[in-house]
Amino acid sequence: MTAFEPLADLADLPEGALLAVRSSAGEAICLANVKGRVSALVDCCTHAEFPLSDGVIHADGTVECVWHGARFDCATGAVCKGPAVDGVVAYDVRVEGGKILVGPRRPIGAEAAR
C-alpha cells in the first residue's frame, strides 16, 4: 500500500479500542486508539500469528496479544514484552474529516513523522 486510503470512521474507534480492518489490497490491519492517538499495525502477532485486534490496549500505549501475552508498542510496533521477539510492522496514519486513512508501511520500530 503506497497511498493513503480511508479504512474506518474515527467514530468507530473510541479511545482504548482496537478495530480490525482490511485494505483494498487485502492486508489485515489493526487500528488502535491510544488516548486519542490513532495508529495502525499489521493485524498479526509475530509470535504465533494471533490477530492483535482481538487483544487489549494498556495505559502504557501497548497492545497485548491475548494468546500468550506478548506486548507491542501501538505507535511503532516494537516488542515491549515477550514471548514475541520481532516487532510488528506499523503503517503511517492520518485522520481527516472524521475518517482514518492508512498509508505506507514504516520500518519496524519507527515513529510516525510528526
- List of residues contacting ligand FES (CB under 6 A): 45, 47-48, 50, 65, 67-70, 83-84
Query: Is the CB of 17 or the CB of 48 nearer to ligand FES?
Result: 48
3-class SS of residue 52: helix
Query: Is the CB of 4 or the CB of 50 nearer to ligand FES?
Result: 50
**What is the closest distance, in whole angstroms, from the C-beta atom of residue 87 to ligand FES in the complex?**
13
Taken in order 72, 60, 67, 42, the sign of the CA dihedral is: negative
Compute the distance between CA of residue 31 and CA of residue 9 in angstroms, rounded to an integer.
11
Q: What is the DSSP string of 3-47?
A: S-EEEEEGGGS-TT-EEEEE-TT--EEEEEEETTEEEEEESS-TT
Query: Is the CB of 89 or the CB of 101 nearer to ligand FES?
Result: 89
**What is the closest distance, in whole angstroms, from the C-beta atom of residue 97 to ligand FES in the complex?**
34
- 16: cell is 482504548
Query: Is the CB of 16 or the CB of 82 nearer to ligand FES?
Result: 82
**What is the closest distance, in whole angstroms, from the C-beta atom of residue 83 to ligand FES in the complex?**
6
**What is the closest distance, in whole angstroms, from the C-beta atom of residue 48 to ligand FES in the complex?**
4
Nearest Cα to Cα of residue 93 among 35, 18, 25, 32: 32
